[in-house]
C-alpha cells in the first residue's frame, strides 16, 4: 500500500513552509516514527516523522517551498515485510568464486546501446534511472554525491548539462560567446553576487519589524547602570547556586526580575494598543530574544513574576537550546507582554531595539564596559552597561518610559530590591 507523506498543519496561521532537509533519501527504508524531513516555517522548524514503515520516495527537493497538506513523498509499506525478512534471514556463507565470476559483469543491454544494468544502476531512484536511460549516460563517468556515493538527481542533471556544453572556440566568435556566458553567469548570481530566497523565518521577521516601524510611534530612552552589585552577588552565590540547581546564575534572570518590578511600577508599559482600545495586561509573560542561525526568535517565559531565579535560568537556557536546535513550538513564541534583548553578548555597546509587535515596550541590554565614573566626589572605574527602552509613544508618555527605566536601573544597582529567591 502506498502512503502519502503530506505536510502537516503546524499552527493555525501557518500556510506554507520549506523542506529544508531530507533526513531520509529516496529508496531508503524508514521506520514508523523516524524523522523524514525538516519543515521550516515562518515561526519554527520541526521534524516530520513517518506514519508507517516502508520504502520512501521523495517528491520534492530540499529547499522547495510547500503548502500545508501538499504531498512531498510516498512510503510503500508493502516492502516493509520484505525488508524485515532480509534483516532476519541469516547470512549465508559465500561460495568461492569461480574464475569467470571474478571478471566484471557484462552490462545487460550494452550490446544494444542501452544503459548498463549494473549494481550501480539498480541502486538508482526511479527519477534518476529515467534520466540515465533517456540521456544514455555512462554511470561509471559520473561522481555520486549521495550517501555512500549514490547518484542523485542533481548529479545526473549536471552530467547532462556538462555533456551539452559546446566545445570552446579559439576564434573571435568563441571569445565573444565566452564573454556573453560570463555575463549570464553573473546575472544568475554565480559571479559577483548571489540571489536566493529568504527563509520563511527571515521573511516573517522582516515583515514584523517593518510593520512595527510603520504602525507604532517608536521612541527610545536611555540610561546606564552600574553592574558592580550584581557581579559581586553572582560571584559570592555562584558556587552555592550551581551545586543546588545544577546550572549557573546568569545575568538575564536579574533583568527579568527587574523588568517585572518596573512593569508593576509602570503598568502601562505592560499593555498594547488594539484598534481604538488599549489592552492592559495584568500578567507578566516576558519574551527573551534568542539569536539563531535561522534568525531571531523570541520565546516567552510564562508568569515570570511567580518564578525564582533558578526557574528563570532553567526556562531561558531550555528555550535557547531548543531555539538553536530548531525545536521550538509555536506556543513557545506566542503571548508575550514585554521583551528583553541582549545585544551585549555580541559586543554591542549602544543600540535602539525595535518593538516586538504588538507589545508596547522592549528593553535592550548592552556590553558591560569598565568606565570611569564619579562616585561620591571621586573617580572610580566601574563595570557599566547602557540600557535602552524603546516604547510606543502612542500609549506610553516619556515620563512613564523614563520612570520604568530608572526602576530597572535601581533594581540592578541594588539587587536587595528584588526578591532574591535563590
339-367 residue pLDDT tens = 999 999 999 999 999 999 899 999 999 99
CATH number at residue 413: 3.30.559.10
Q: Give CA angle at 259 (413, 342), nearest 5°.
A: 85
The single residue of 76, 77, 393, 421 carrying the catalytic annotation is: 393
Question: Does residue 397 carry a catalytic annotation?
Answer: yes
Domain boundary among 57, 88, 119: 88
> Do residues 399 and 259 share a domain?
yes
As a whole number of angstroms, the distance between CA 158 and CA 375 comes to 70
Give yes or no for a contact between 333 and 44, defined as CB atoms under 8 angstroms apart: yes
Q: Which domain holds residue 70?
A: 2-88
> Do residues 367 and 316 share a domain?
yes
> Could you tell me if residue 321 is inside a domain?
yes
As a whole number of angstroms, the distance between CA 48 and CA 51 comes to 9
> Could you tell me if residue 7 is inside a domain?
yes
Helix (H) or strand (E) holding 411: helix 398-413
Strand pairing report for 338-342 and 286-288: parallel
> Could you tell me if residue 153 is inside a domain?
no
Grouping H, G, I as helix, E, B as strand and the rest as coil, residue 186 is helix
Across 198-206, average pLDDT: 78
Domain boundary among 64, 88, 112: 88
> Do residues 262 and 403 share a domain?
yes
> Do residues 337 and 234 share a domain?
yes
Place of cell 538575564: 252
Grid cell digits, residue 81: 515485510
Domain boundary among 174, 197, 220: 197
Indicate the burial class of 88 (C-beta count within 10 angstroms; 0-12, 13-18, 19 or more).
Answer: exposed
> Could you tell me if residue 55 is inside a domain?
yes
How many CB atoms lie under 10 A from the CB of residue 167? 6
> Do residues 174 and 245 share a domain?
no
> Do residues 173 and 226 share a domain?
no
Query: For position 13, what pLDDT does the model report?
Result: 59
Indicate the range of 35-39, 261-265, 393-397 predicted with least confidence: 35-39
As a whole number of angstroms, the distance between CA 117 and CA 137 comes to 12
**Structural domains counted in the chain:** 3
Query: For position 386, what pLDDT does the model report?
Result: 98
Give yes or no for a contact between 269 and 360, defined as CB atoms under 8 angstroms apart: yes
> Do residues 278 and 381 share a domain?
yes
Indicate the range of 25-34, 229-238, 259-268, 391-400 predicted with least confidence: 25-34
> Do residues 250 and 341 share a domain?
yes
113: pLDDT confidence band, cut at 50, 70 and 90? very low
Q: What is the pTM of this model?
A: 0.63
Task: Give 135-165 pLDDT, tens digit per residue.
Answer: 778 877 787 777 777 788 778 788 877 776 6
Quick check: 103 pLDDT over 50? no
> Do residues 236 and 258 share a domain?
yes
Place of cell 508507517: 52
> Could you tell me if residue 267 is inside a domain?
yes
Give yes or no for a contact between 348 and 367, defined as CB atoms under 8 angstroms apart: yes
Task: Give 28-75 pLDDT, tens digit per residue.
Answer: 899 988 888 888 876 677 788 888 888 998 988 888 888 888 898 999
> Could you tell me if residue 188 is inside a domain?
yes
Task: Look at 96 and 379; give whichever has higher pLDDT.
Answer: 379
> Could you tell me if residue 123 is inside a domain?
no
> Do residues 244 and 184 share a domain?
no
> Could you tell me if residue 277 is inside a domain?
yes
Q: What's the mean per-residue pLDDT of the chain?
A: 82
Grouping H, G, I as helix, E, B as strand and the rest as coil, residue 247 is coil
Grid cell digits, residue 199: 527563509
Task: Look at 198 and 210; give whichever has higher pLDDT.
Answer: 210
Across 114-131, average pLDDT: 61
Helix (H) or strand (E) holding 135: helix 126-135
Query: For position 79, what pLDDT does the model report?
Result: 65
> Do residues 319 and 386 share a domain?
yes
Quick check: 115 pLDDT over 60? no
CATH number at residue 44: 2.40.50.100
The DSSP symbol for 168 reads P
Indicate the burial class of 373 (C-beta count within 10 angstroms; 0-12, 13-18, 19 or more).
Answer: middle
Query: For position 33, what pLDDT does the model report?
Result: 87
> Do residues 206 and 355 share a domain?
yes
Indicate the burial class of 42 (C-beta count within 10 angstroms; 0-12, 13-18, 19 or more).
Answer: buried
Amino acid at each position: 500500500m502506498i502512503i502519502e507523506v503530506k505536510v502537516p498543519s503546524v499552527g493555525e496561521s501557518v500556510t506554507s513552509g520549506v523542506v529544508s532537509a531530507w533526513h531520509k533519501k529516496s529508496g531508503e527504508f524508514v521506520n514508523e516514527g523516524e524523522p523524514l524531513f525538516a519543515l521550516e516555517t515562518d515561526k519554527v522548524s520541526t521534524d516530520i516523522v513517518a506514519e508507517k514503515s516502508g520504502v520512501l520516495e521523495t517528491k520534492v527537493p530540499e529547499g522547495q517551498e510547500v503548502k500545508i497538506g501538499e504531498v512531498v513523498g510516498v512510503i510503500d509499506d508493502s516492502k516493509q515485510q520484505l525488508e524485515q525478512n532480509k534483516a532476519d534471514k541469516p547470512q549465508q556463507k559465500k561460495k568461492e568464486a569461480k574464475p569467470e565470476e571474478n571478471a566484471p559483469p557484462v552490462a545487460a543491454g550494452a550490446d544494444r546501446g542501452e544503459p548498463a544494468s549494473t549494481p550501480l544502476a539498480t541502486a538508482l531512484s526511479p527519477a534518476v534511472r529515467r534520466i540515465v536511460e533517456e540521456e544514455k549516460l555512462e554511470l561509471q563517468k559520473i561522481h555520486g554525491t549521495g550517501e555512500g556515493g549514490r547518484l542523485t538527481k542533481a548529479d545526473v542533471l549536471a552530467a547532462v548539462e556538462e555533456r551539452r556544453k559546446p566545445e570552446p572556440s579559439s576564434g573571435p566568435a568563441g571569445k565573444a560567446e565566452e564573454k556573453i556566458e560570463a555575463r549570464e553567469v553573473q546575472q544568475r548570481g554565480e559571479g559577483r553576487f548571489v540571489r536566493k530566497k529568504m527563509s520563511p523565518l527571515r521573511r516573517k521577521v522582516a515583515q514584523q519589524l517593518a510593520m512595527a516601524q510603520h504602525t507604532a510611534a517608536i521612541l527610545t530612552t536611555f540610561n546606564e547602570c552600574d553592574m558592580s552589585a550584581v557581579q559581586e552577588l553572582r560571584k559570592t552565590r555562584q558556587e552555592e547556586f550551581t551545586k543546588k540547581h545544577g546550572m549557573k546564575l546568569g545575568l538575564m534572570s536579574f533583568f527579568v526580575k527587574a523588568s517585572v518590578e518596573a512593569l508593576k511600577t509602570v503598568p502601562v508599559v505592560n499593555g498594547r494598543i488594539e484598534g481604538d482600545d488599549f489592552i492592559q495586561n495584568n500578567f507578566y509573560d516576558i519574551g527573551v530574544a534568542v539569536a539563531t542561525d535561522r534568525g531571531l526568535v523570541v520565546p516567552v517565559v510564562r508568569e515570570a513574576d511567580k518564578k525564582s531565579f533558578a526557574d528563570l535560568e532553567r526556562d531561558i537556557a531550555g528555550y535557547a537550546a531548543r531555539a538553536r536546535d530548531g525545536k521550538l513550538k509555536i506556543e513557545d513564541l506566542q503571548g508575550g507582554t514585554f521583551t528583553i534583548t541582549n545585544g551585549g553578548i555580541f559586543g554591542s555597546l549602544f543600540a535602539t531595539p525595535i518593538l516586538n509587535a504588538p507589545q508596547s515596550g522592549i528593553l535592550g541590554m548592552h556590553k558591560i564596559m569598565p568606565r570611569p565614573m564619579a562616585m561620591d566626589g571621586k573617580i572610580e572605574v566601574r563595570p557599566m552597561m547602557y540600557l535602552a527602552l524603546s516604547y510606543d509613544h502612542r500609549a506610553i508618555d516619556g515620563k512613564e518610559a523614563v520612570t520604568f527605566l530608572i526602576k530597572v536601573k535601581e533594581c540592578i544597582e541594588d539587587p536587595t530590591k528584588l526578591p532574591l529567591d535563590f
